[in-house]
């Protein structure tokens, strides 16, 4: 990737989080408009549309978006989207930089993972296909989710209910670690109560460029300009 160091990105692929929608990136996309002629795409993950798709199918969808993106491309994931990015960007020559938002890298895991813990989570709902989603009211609760979301975002979440996702998003194996081969920046909310201290320590072991941001897990809603700035800057060496 050395030949891409210092180049202005021409493409950006944004990967939404668990239970989310591509439109969740609207605020980051708005902040990216400072860069003219930048091609930005936000794929819709199959695990949130189809009853049998999981992490690997999500990675295939994002990989196709990366292949269609001009070089140099920055690939960005938020929360679960980071898990997808870590697989999808593996071996992609047009990718110059990965940006992980509100999640540390996921380690390679060749076996099917245990996802039984999902059923025990509080505020979790399930549909007739066994897919899961966090109660929509949780997202709007200041006590549960963290810092108060802007009124514009709260209105958006009411109009865009969180979607059910398959348990295969949690149980599929993890065949690649793109973050180990591509310059990577990890942005973690300093007040994110969904990221443990152990996970933060692991992120700093795995990635050189880890930054604490004065926000919670919902950085793409509360601090979109921080994410946009990380996307547009030169990738770390």
Whether 139 maps to a domain, the answer reads yes
Distance (Å, whole) CA 172 – CA 166:
10
Q: What is the mean pLDDT of the chain?
A: 92
Q: CATH number for the domain including 164?
A: 3.40.50.1820
Domain of residue 208 covers 2-232
Check pLDDT > 50 for residue 2.
Answer: no
Q: Number of helices and strands (H, E) in the chain?
A: 10, 8
Cβ neighbors of 36 (< 8 A, separation 6 or more) are none
Write down the pLDDT at residue 132. Answer: 93
Whether 237 maps to a domain, the answer reads no
41-55 mean pLDDT: 97
Whether 108 maps to a domain, the answer reads yes
Write down the pLDDT at residue 236. Answer: 84
- State the sign of the Cα–Cα–Cα–Cα dihedral 92, 95, 97, 100: negative
173-189 mean pLDDT: 98
pLDDT band for position 5 (50/70/90)? Answer: very low
Q: What is the DSSP letter of 180?
A: G
Write down the pLDDT at residue 143. Answer: 56
pLDDT in tens, 110-132: 999 999 888 888 889 989 888 99
Check pLDDT > 80 for residue 64.
Answer: yes
Check pLDDT > 70 for residue 107.
Answer: yes
- CA-nearest of 51, 42, 45, 50 to 23 is 42
Write down the pLDDT at residue 27. Answer: 97
Number of domains the chain is built from? 1
pLDDT band for position 168 (50/70/90)? Answer: very high
Write down the pLDDT at residue 130. Answer: 87
């Amino acid at each position: 990737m050395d030949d891409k160091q210092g180049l202005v990105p021409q493409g950006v692929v944004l990967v939404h989080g668990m239970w989310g929608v591509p439109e969740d990136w609207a605020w980051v996309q708005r902040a990216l408009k400072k860069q003219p002629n930048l091609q930005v795409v936000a794929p819709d993950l199959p695990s949130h549309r189809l009853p049998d798709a999981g992490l690997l199918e999500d990675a295939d969808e994002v990989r196709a978006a990366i292949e269609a993106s001009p070089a140099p491309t920055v690939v960005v994931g938020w929360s679960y989207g980071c898990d997808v990015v870590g697989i999808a960007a593996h071996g992609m020559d047009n990718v110059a930089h990965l940006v992980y938002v509100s999640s540390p890298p996921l380690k390679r895991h060749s076996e099917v993972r245990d996802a039984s813990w999902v059923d025990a989570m509080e505020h979790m709902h399930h549909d007739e296909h066994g897919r899961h989603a966090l109660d929509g009211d949780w997202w709007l609760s200041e006590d549960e989710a963290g810092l108060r979301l802007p009124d514009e975002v709260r209105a958006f979440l009411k109009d865009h209910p969180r979607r059910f996702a398959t348990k295969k998003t949690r149980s599929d194996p993890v065949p690649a670690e793109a973050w180990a081969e591509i310059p990577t920046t990890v942005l973690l909310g300093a007040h994110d109560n969904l990221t443990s201290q152990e996970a933060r320590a692991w992120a700093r072991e795995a990635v050189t460029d880890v930054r604490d941001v004065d926000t919670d897990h919902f950085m793409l809603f509360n601090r979109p300009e921080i994410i946009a700035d990380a996307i547009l800057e030169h990738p770390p060496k």
